[in-house]
C-alpha cells in the first residue's frame, strides 16, 4: 500500500473555504499547502505551510501540479489545474464542493471555453453565483468523503 501521507493543496488566492480546509486537515492530521501569489495569514501549525509564488498567470497552478502526488487532494476552481491534478492521480475539488472527476473534466473544459467565448462576444455578463452556506456545507462533505475514501484505499 501507499505509505506517503495524504496532503492537501489549496489554490489559495481566491479560495473561500480555507478555514474549513484547515479544520478538516487538522482533524485528520494532514499536511496542507497554502499556495498563493501574495502573503496571507495562516494558522500556526506544523501541518500548515504557506507557499508564496511569483505573480503571474498559472505560477501557483504550476507549483501545485509539480508537487501533488497520487491520492493527494487539491482545492481549486481552476479547471485546467484540476485536469492536471487528476492526471497526477490526485483528487480535485472545487470550493463549492463539486468534485472534478475523469468523467466530468472534459465537459468542464468545454463549458469553460464556451463561457469564455460568450463573455468575449458580450452575450453573457458577470460570473458565477455568489458563494453561500450551502456551497460551504457541500464542500465540507466532499472533502471529508474524498479523504475517507483515500484512507480506505490505502488500508
Q: Report, as an integer, the average pLDDT of 112-125.
A: 66
Q: Closest by alpha carbon to 23, among 135, 130, 147?
A: 147
C-alpha angle 58-67-95 in degrees, rounded to nearest 5: 60
Give 61's strand partners.
none
Q: What is the pLDDT of residues 42-80, one digit of tens each?
A: 999 999 999 999 988 889 999 999 999 999 999 998 889
Q: What is the pLDDT of residues 76-94, one digit of tens each?
A: 988 899 999 999 999 999 9
Q: What domains appear along the chain, each with residue ranges and CATH number?
A: 7-149 (3.40.50)
Q: Which H or E run includes 81?
A: helix 79-87
109 exposed, middle or buried (CB, 10 Å; 0-12, 13-18, 19+)?
Answer: middle
Question: Which pLDDT score, from 0 to 100, does residue 55 have?
Answer: 87
Amino acid at each position: 500500500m501507499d505509505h506517503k501521507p495524504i496532503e492537501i493543496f489549496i489554490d489559495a488566492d481566491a479560495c473561500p473555504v480555507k478555514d474549513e480546509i484547515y479544520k478538516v486537515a487538522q482533524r485528520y492530521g494532514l499536511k496542507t499547502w497554502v499556495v498563493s501569489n501574495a502573503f496571507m495569514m495562516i494558522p500556526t501549525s506544523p501541518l500548515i505551510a504557506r507557499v508564496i509564488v511569483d505573480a503571474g498567470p498559472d505560477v501557483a497552478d504550476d507549483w501545485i501540479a509539480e508537487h501533488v502526488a497520487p491520492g493527494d487532494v487539491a482545492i481549486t476552481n481552476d479547471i485546467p489545474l484540476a485536469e492536471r491534478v487528476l492526471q497526477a492521480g490526485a483528487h480535485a475539488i472545487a470550493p463549492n464542493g463539486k468534485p472534478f472527476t475523469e468523467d466530468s473534466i472534459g465537459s468542464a473544459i468545454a463549458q469553460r471555453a464556451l463561457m469564455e467565448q460568450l463573455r468575449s462576444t458580450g452575450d453573457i455578463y458577470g460570473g458565477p453565483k455568489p458563494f453561500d452556506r450551502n456551497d460551504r456545507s457541500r464542500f465540507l462533505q466532499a472533502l471529508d468523503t474524498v479523504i475517507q475514501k483515500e484512507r480506505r484505499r490505502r488500508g
